[in-house]
Every structure is written in structure tokens, then in C-alpha cells.
Amino acid sequence: MADRFEQALRAGSARFAMTTNMEQPRGVRARGDRRRRRRVAVVASVVVLAVAGLGGTAYAAGWTPGHTPAPAASASPSVPPSHRGSPTPSPSRTPDGGMSSRPGGDETDGAPALGPCDLTDLYDAKKVDGGVGGGHALTVVGVEYRGSAPCRLPDYPTLTGAYGGNEQTGVKRRTIPVGHGTWFDGGDTKRYGATAYPGHRMYFDLATTSADTGQEAQSYVNLAIVAADGTEIPIVLGGPVESTGGFSVSRWYATTG
């Protein structure tokens, strides 16, 4: 049984509904179509920026707002990279100027096959670079490897983060569901599957989107990299990471630049 307050609210609202000035459906659809076209144009411009190498950061390999590629997407081989005799610039750009789906720069320095790095030897994980554009953001996370011997960079990082935090539920921590993608910054400086040497830094990219995807934004704080034994290496990001289109990470890479 509705109380008097509720009855008054509903009655008043019903009368209000009868007097609303609504735009014709055709006009609303036209506005929606304009938004749709604008979004396509923005995404296209981001890709152009990426290809031109002007954006500093770029987005490629099937990652679009609201869409997270499957972990084993063809964009990023899920098998370990094959070894070659020497570092060879990998064609990250197609002849027509488009994006290659293959990450540039798989290499092994001509060394015998090394085991993957033990992530418990990682220290000083922090945001070292980043960029935004067209409703997307890319955060470059750098970590120092302090192991005693060279090792092979692993494939993709696993991340955990804290979320929630209202008065009823409190903050919870969980593995962040991420897609796998590959982004490059206009050069062949990224070396995926490369050798990590003690004292050197290794990196991965974290992609998010702030564009309106119709999805509730997900937000995490206190992110950490998870090692094979469950050890968590905290990442200093300077604030929460938020995305309306899910999260994606790149493979670990070293840089030659």
C-alpha cells in the first residue's frame, strides 16, 4: 500500500508526463546516428595517429571500446615466440600503412632458450608513461628486474586490484579480468619475448577506455602484478584505473630505445 508521499509523487509525475515536450523520434534517431558517425571518426583518427606515430601511444590489434579481445586472439600469439638468430625489426606496419596484427620485435638475442623470468624478482613497478586520445587511455607500466641471471620475458601479466568500497561491502580484491592486446608507439623499440637482464627494466601496457560504451565503469585501486607463486608486486599508479570498456594488457616487453 503506497503511502501519501508516494501517491502524491506518482500523481504529480503522471501529470507531468502528459505535458512533456518530446522531440520527434526521427530527430532522436538522427542525433543517435550523428553520435555513431562521430565515434567511428574518432576511432579512425586514433588509428591514423597510431600509424603516423604522432600520438605517442596507439591502439591496435582489435581493441575497441567495449570490446575486449579474447586472450588467444590472433593479434597476439599465445605460444612463445620462435627464436631467431638476431633481433630483426618486425614489420609492424602493413604495406598500405595499416596495422599489423603481429607484435613487433620478438627476439631472443641469439642466446640459448632461457626460462621465463621469476616475477618475484620484480621491483619498483610504476607508471612510466601514458597517453590518452579518443576516449582511450594507455598506461605504460615499468618494472625493474633484479634477478641474478638473464631470463625470458613472460607473455602477459596477471593483475589484481581492489574494487568496491561502500559502507556495506567494504573493499574487495580480485584478479582483474583482462583481454590481451598489442599496441605499439610507432617504432620498433618494443621487444616482446626478449631477454631481461638483471638491473634492466621491463614493461607492459594497460589499456582502458573512458568513452561511453553503455557499460558501468569498472574501477580498481592498488593494482599489483601477480607472480606464479601468488606473490603480488604492487604497482604505483598514482590513482585508480577506471574503464567503461574493460581492461586489456599487452605482453611484457623490453625496449631498445
Partner 1 sequence: MRDPRDFDSFYLGTAPRVTSQLYAMVGNRADAEDIVQEAYARAWQHWDRVSGYDSPEAWVRTIAFRIAVSTWRKAVNRLRAYRRHGAPDSLPGADPDYVAIVAALRRITPEQRRTVVLYHLVGLSVAEIATETGVAVGTVRARLTRGRQALVPHLSEYAAELSAPEPEVAHHG
Going from the C-alpha of 126 to that of each of 202, 205, 245, the distances in angstroms are 11, 11, 23
Q: Which of these ranges, 49-57, 142-150, 178-186, 210-218, lies near partner 1 under the rule CB under 8 A?
A: 210-218
Residues numbered 34-63 forming contacts with partner 1, rule: CB under 8 A: 35-36, 39
239 binds partner 1 (CB under 8 A): no
79 binds partner 1 (CB under 8 A): no
Q: Is 174 in the site for partner 1 (CB under 8 A)?
A: no
Of 27-35, 44-52, 190-198, 199-207, the segment contacting partner 1 by CB under 8 A is 27-35
Cα separation of 139 and 118, whole Å? 23
CB of 182 to partner 1, least distance (A): 26
- By C-alpha distance, which of 253, 213, 220, 250 is closest to 235? 220
Q: Is residue 212 a contact residue for partner 1 (CB under 8 A)?
A: yes
Q: How many residues line the site for partner 1 (CB under 8 A)?
A: 40
Residue 8 binding partner 1, by CB under 8 A: yes
For binding to partner 1 (CB under 8 A), which residues are involved? 1-6, 8-23, 25-29, 31-33, 35-36, 39, 166-169, 212, 214, 216
